[in-house]
Structure 1
Amino acid sequence: MFNRTTLWILVIALAAGIGLLAGHRWFTPKAPSLPQTQAVRLFPAPRELPAFSLQQSDGTRLVPGELQGHWTIVFLGFTHCPDVCPTTLAELAQAQKQWEGLPDSTRPRVLFVSVDPDRDTAILAGEYAHAFHRDTLAATGDVPALEAFARNLSMVFMKVPPADGAPADRYNVDHTATLAVLDPKGRMTGIISPPLDPQAIAADLTALTSTMAR
């Protein structure tokens, strides 16, 4: 049987526990909730990306840490692409122009990754991407590195042989047209599916960037 002293100890301990729980509930900062989006389909929870290493057009390595601090849209393509790539980069450039007024330290970024390393060097990929918008990042790598990077984003690409009688370098590269959206921690947080709406993309990325300041 509990004596009176034991009973008081239990009451005090229970009160302290309730106080700690209330303090944790009311005073622990909450992670900022993400806004409703139009073009970006957000995942229920972000997904960490395994380690990767690609070559950027400025000569530096593209590793996970380089994709932190900004919301980033990732697009796989290649410079010889006849239609999807130039159209996509042109539409993304329209969105980029709308957030040019945001601070450089937090401004959303677009990353173009060439999946055609046989024809596209990192420098060539950069020149191609910059023709659409000067802020677009560009990178490439060897096929195993690119395959791993694409797979981590749930994307694919495949080299398609040229038609009979065509030169060997006139091949095509089929690739996912969906865009990946990475959060400021470099985690895959959502996707953007075609057809693209530059106005909606700009509004979504601007709203998502505003959550970084909360």
Structure 2
Amino acid sequence: MFNKKIGYILVIALAAGLGLLAAQHWLAPAPSKAALPQTRAVTLFPQSREVPAFSLRQSDGTQLTAGELKGHWTLVFLGFTSCPDVCPTTLAELAQAQKQWTALPESIRPRLLFVSVDPERDDPAKVGEYAHAFHPDTLAATADVPALENFAKSLGFVFIKVPGKHFDENPRDYSMDHSSGIAVLDPQGRQAGLIRAPLDPVAIAADMLALTDASSEGARTSP
């Protein structure tokens, strides 16, 4: 009887162990096929995070969805066109980085997406005119507030309207407080990392070029 009980215990333990291994195999994220390089400006996450489905309106009137960003490393920055300091400074610094990767083929060239969180004053065309003044390749978009809130939250960002002194008399007298970080999306459209201020355009450009090269090499060597 004692030996039989021991046998039952061993069988149950073995089954539990096999079940755990199976769960780890099926539930654990698949490892990257190409090791990512060390970065200076980009803080890479231990594991890329899925970005929920979203839909934004681009400056040319077309919809921008998650699928549109696949195939490229993408930087995402939230702001608004009436921003007095952070937004123009950030876009100017990012434009310096963008100039460093313009020689890459368009099919793999990193992208910058500027999203206005002030749709009341920033229609898609205005957002595009503003962003393209810094660099013509910048993607520009906005959406209604609920869609923007969901998009921002999915990236770990926030924004809020801050009424001005004359808001009661003029409802357009307000500013927008928003996260100043830059989300880094990988070619699968997942959030792979974050860039925080102060920005170093040279380091950002070097990181994005290295990440793009690593992804391209991984695509060439994958079976």
TM-score by structure 2 length?
A: 0.81
Q: CA-to-partner distance for each residue in 1:162-182, whole Å, 9 max, x for gaps?
A: 114773312100000000000
Paired residue secondary structure (1:96):
helix
Of 151, 159, 162, the residue aligned with 1:160 is 162
Match of 1:11 in 2: none
Is 1:194 the equivalent of 2:212? no
Deviation, structure 1 residue 58: 1.4
Match of 1:105 in 2: 107
Distance 2:46 2:141 in 1: 29
Is 1:39 the equivalent of 2:41? yes
Distance 2:95 2:117 in 1: 20
Is 1:178 the equivalent of 2:185? no
Of 146, 169, 172, the residue aligned with 1:169 is 172
Structure 2 contact 112–139 (Cα < 8 Å) conserved = yes
Distance 1:81 1:199 in 2: 24
Where do 1:15-30 residues align within 5 Å?
none
Structure 2 contact 77–113 (Cα < 8 Å) conserved = yes
- CA RMSD, Structure 1 to Structure 2 (Å): 1.3
Structure 2 contact 166–173 (Cα < 8 Å) conserved = no
Is 1:129 the equivalent of 2:123? no
Paired residue secondary structure (1:31):
coil
- Runs of 4+, deviation exceeding 4 Å: none
Q: How many residues align?
A: 186
Of 206, 210, 213, the residue aligned with 2:209 is 206
Paired residue secondary structure (1:55):
strand
Structure 2 contact 75–111 (Cα < 8 Å) conserved = yes
Of 80, 83, 91, the residue aligned with 1:78 is 80
Deviation, structure 1 residue 30: 6.6
Match of 1:4 in 2: none
Give the unaligned 5+ runs of structure 1: 1-28
Distance 2:92 2:114 in 1: 12
Deviation, structure 1 residue 213: 1.8
Of 111, 128, 149, the residue aligned with 1:147 is 149
Give the unaligned 5+ runs of structure 2: 1-30, 218-223
Match of 1:8 in 2: none
Distance 1:87 1:70 in 2: 24
TM-score by structure 1 length?
A: 0.85
Paired residue secondary structure (2:120):
coil
Q: CA-to-partner distance for each residue in 1:80-103, whole Å, 9 max, x for gaps?
A: 000000000000000000111111
Aligned partner letter, 1:209: T
Deviation, structure 1 residue 59: 1.4
